[in-house]
Every structure is written in C-alpha cells, then in structure tokens.
Amino acid sequence: MVAGKHKSRSMRRVYIKTPGGTNKISYRSRKPTQAKCAKCKANLSGVSRATKAEITNMPKSAKRPERPYGGFFCSKCTREALREKARQTKI
C-alpha cells in the first residue's frame, strides 16, 4: 500500500527504472512556482526556481539578479522605476 502522505498530488510521481529492470514510482517534492514581477506579473528571469533547502546553499548572486529591484521587478519595469526615481529627485 502507498503511504498516506503520497496519496495527494502535493508530491510529484517520478517513474524510476531500477537496476533489476522494474519500474518503481518515486515521490519527489514539486518545484515552487516561477517568481513574478510585482508590477506587470511577468515571469522573472534570473531568479532561481529551487526549493528553500536548495536556496540556502546557493550564493547570493545565484538567487536573484544583482541590480536595483533585482528579484522584485522585471527588467522593463526596473527601467521605468529608475526613470521615475530620477525624475522625482530634486537638485
């Protein structure tokens, strides 16, 4: 019988071929959803799609882009936000 925790679809099912030649089902956790831009809801490129355990072992530069608003806005919205900020600053 399958364990109760594996009956739901919160764990994904991966078919693994064993050395004996039989196929077994292996249960693995699903990846988190892709990070979205806070303004236009587009998928963020450069932001890792890893589990929390994997992210803790990553360097900071691999987690998100090294720029202002990196990991928060997409590049298009970042450009607009920086333009607005530059226009609002007083000399």
Q: Considering the domain boundaries, does residue 55 fall inside one?
A: yes
Q: Considering the domain boundaries, does residue 63 fall inside one?
A: yes
Q: Considering the domain boundaries, does residue 10 fall inside one?
A: no
Residue pLDDT, tens place only, 77-86:
999 999 999 9
pLDDT of the residue at 44 = 92
pLDDT at 90 over 90: no
Tokens in use for 75? Answer: 């590049």
Domain span at residue 90? 32-91
Q: Considering the domain boundaries, does residue 64 fall inside one?
A: yes
Average pLDDT for 69-77:
92
Residue 50 and residue 44 in contact, taking contact as beta carbons nearer than 8 Å = no
Domain count within the chain: 1
The pTM score is 0.65
pLDDT of the residue at 91 = 66
Residue pLDDT, tens place only, 2-60:
888 888 888 999 999 999 999 999 998 888 999 999 999 999 988 888 888 899 999 98
Neighbours of 27 (CB within 10 A): 13
Q: Considering the domain boundaries, does residue 24 fall inside one?
A: no
Q: Considering the domain boundaries, does residue 4 fall inside one?
A: no
Q: Considering the domain boundaries, does residue 21 fall inside one?
A: no
